[in-house]
Chain A
């Protein structure tokens, strides 16, 4: 179904996201990446399916768990790793860390750490696109928890009122930190149906079924480019690791015994490999070759970042205001009131 080049892009994105995330997770305990990191392992599917569908001039924003979105959008892996390592060359000048990623060269406009924070910002990007008469889209990545924030409703409402070209991508992984949906949202209510009732087209799918996600979003995005207004898409998926950090935390017991194992059987990467072999005529060797190529790149990226210098300390004080770009405001903390 997918165009040939798209299937390869998707498979490449899956290997990339998974490989980089595993690379970070393996190295994190060494203590060189000293910032909170929220992994996307297990949740690679949606970002990878969207990778060939998002154009460079589409504008995306995301939240704390943004690595997959950033890479799916084509963000520089090296600049992201340098940011997480706190080295020179970080995409946010070593001031933002894992939770604040940006690569404007590919339209990734920023991910932030306060849940819900970028939802209205994505809608604002959509407003700017519409006013300029562009057929680009603004894409807002968010979790199931973020829809509990008031700002989500206010933003969806405005996007609906103005028919803005905003694509909301909600990855429902059933949890907000250790909290299941139970204490957070009424039992049996579907997120996308609720949003549909707010007046925007809404769709849902299995985010771990990459081929199906691609197919669905291919149609949705084509329609959006012809000015159909905002769309909300909810995808079920599951995070394998702890909420924040590289460890497995199944022993804590906040998720039912066997739940994670069950989801691992539906791993987006393995499932798409199978799909390519069974439906697109890919051989095991072709998959292996692509995987090795991506992993070799990733190994070079980690070697590069580990050799990157530390950022100069005065960088901490730069660019608080737009007119300071490139200048230091000075680091004197002591001031006399006299």
Chain B
């Protein structure tokens, strides 16, 4: 039974979970709705059937279930917990920050916490202020946590396997708009994408564009269009937010002399802001232009269709910002506007969740 070479992001996660659970009895998976008819957007299909009691639905108790994950991890398991929205996990900050992130350090390195926490970031169809938060910078701010944000199906699988193998707590962020995305994914159970290695997606000499997760897709459209117009942008997909692969990033900016850092989170304290700060202080003499970041505003996401129309930025704004940096002039890229409704990732999505 050969599977197609190309599968969706959700299927890639599913394959990664199956292989991780088959490889080690220590891996358990739990989360609200993990074995329900929707199977966490298809990512947990057939896990319950195959692995029985190692896969279970849980009470609405995010904080306790996180602490239970920490306890299970120090007790010899490798739990993978999932939440259908990142926002639901905010009830668990005590266990994440005070227990999971600190355990290894504060007990003198006696025991690590191999816990993977999958969080899904919502967007569109009125997800609104409490179903669409991009808090990667928050998690990255906590020493002891690793933060992963895949953008392609292959990375989703490879990074998930690496996260489960990793002996630290890993916050694994999946953007809801990526689950349906198709891509080639190695089928081998040995396939891994190492943590803390970003990927140079497109090579270029004029400007370095740093993206992650869903924004990488938007950036890719911008970079291809810029290339047609003679601007050679280098696109870096961070893949792991923390610990960040600084050498690759700094090498690129040294070469291009320009940085445009993208972030799906709010501006203040963003990952992009941290990257701009480091580049500005470490590479000041290499820079040909002031480094820029393009982020979400310091405003919660509104719910109404009309209010979200211009709320998000994407390929047109990324292309315009890069163009201005390189060419020093304003230019708009209306041809990069997405077609159809702005609040859905594609035709397949008809709400409500």
Interface residues, chain A, CB within 8 Å of chain B? 28, 31, 34-37, 86-87, 90, 92, 94-100, 112-116, 145-146, 148-151, 176-179, 183-185, 244-245, 252-254, 310-311, 313, 315-317, 320, 329-338
What's the Cα separation between A177 and B352 when bound, in Å?
A: 13
* B58 lies within 8 A of A35 (CB): no
Q: Chain B residues near A185 (CB, 8 Å)?
A: 59
Residue from B33, B126, B291 with most neighbouring chain A CB atoms (10 Å): B126
Chain B positions 152-166 with a Cβ under 8 Å from a chain A Cβ: none
User: Nearest Cβ in chain A — how far from B31, in angstroms?
Assistant: 11
Q: Are A338 and B280 in contact (CB under 8 A)?
A: yes
- Using CB atoms and an 8 Å cutoff, list the residues of chain B in contact with chain A: 32-33, 36-38, 56-64, 87-88, 90-91, 125-131, 267, 273, 276-277, 280, 290-300, 302-311, 313, 317, 321, 343, 350-353
Most buried by A among B293, B303, B307, B352: B303
Q: List 20 A-B contacts (CB under 8 A).
A: A31-B351, A36-B351, A87-B304, A92-B303, A95-B128, A95-B304, A100-B303, A113-B87, A114-B130, A178-B36, A183-B56, A183-B58, A183-B59, A184-B57, A245-B352, A310-B304, A311-B307, A320-B300, A334-B294, A337-B280
Task: Report B150 CB to chain A, min CB distance, Å.
Answer: 24
Q: Is the CB of A36 within 8 A of B294?
A: no
Q: Which residues of chain B have C-beta atoms less than 8 A from A114's C-beta?
A: 87-88, 90-91, 130
Q: Which chain A residues lie closer than 8 Å to B280 at the CB level?
A: 337-338
User: B304 touches which one: A97, A113, A177, A334 (CB < 8 A)?
Assistant: A97
Shortest beta-carbon distance, A327 to chain B, in Å?
13
- Chain A positions within 8 Å of B310 at CB level: 313, 316, 331
A254 to B91, CA, bound (A): 27
Q: Which chain A residues lie closer than 8 Å to B311 at the CB level?
A: 316, 331
Chain A residue nearest to B320 in the complex (CB) = A334
Q: Which residues of B are found within 8 Å of A100, using beta-carbon distances?
A: 128-130, 303
Contact of B57 among A86, A149, A151, A183 (CB under 8 A): A183
B contact patch SS: loop
Bound-state CA distance A286–B60 (Å) is 44
> How near does chain B come to A242, taking the closest CB pair, in angstroms?
9
Chain B nearest CB, measured from A330 CB (Å): 8
Beta-carbon contact of B297 and A317 below 8 Å: yes
Contact B303 A35 (CB under 8 A): yes
Given A36-B126, A148-B61, A338–B307 Cβ distance below 8 Å?
Answer: no
A211→B292 CA distance, assembly (Å): 64
Given A36-B351, A316-B302, 7 new contacts (CB under 8 A): A86-B307, A96-B128, A97-B126, A114-B130, A149-B60, A149-B91, A179-B36
A333 B296 Cβ-Cβ under 8 A:
yes
Docked-complex contact B290 and A329, CB < 8 angstroms: no
Residues of B near A146 (CB, < 8 A) are 60
Query: Which single member of A113, A115, A116, A313 contacts B128 (CB below 8 Å)?
Result: A113
A97 partner residues in chain B, CB cutoff 8 A: 126, 128, 303-304
Q: B32 contacts A179, CB within 8 Å?
A: yes
CB pair B60–A333 under 8 Å, yes or no, is no
Complex Cα distance, B40 from A177, in Å, reads 12
Q: Is the CB of B127 within 8 A of A36?
A: yes
> Which of chain A's residues has its CB closest to B125's CB?
A34
User: Are A113's CB and B126's CB within 8 A?
Assistant: no
Beta-carbon contact of B129 and A96 below 8 Å: yes
A310: B residues at CB distance < 8 A: 304, 306
- Does the CB pair B273–A94 fall under 8 Å? no
Chain A hits for B292, CB < 8 A: 334-337
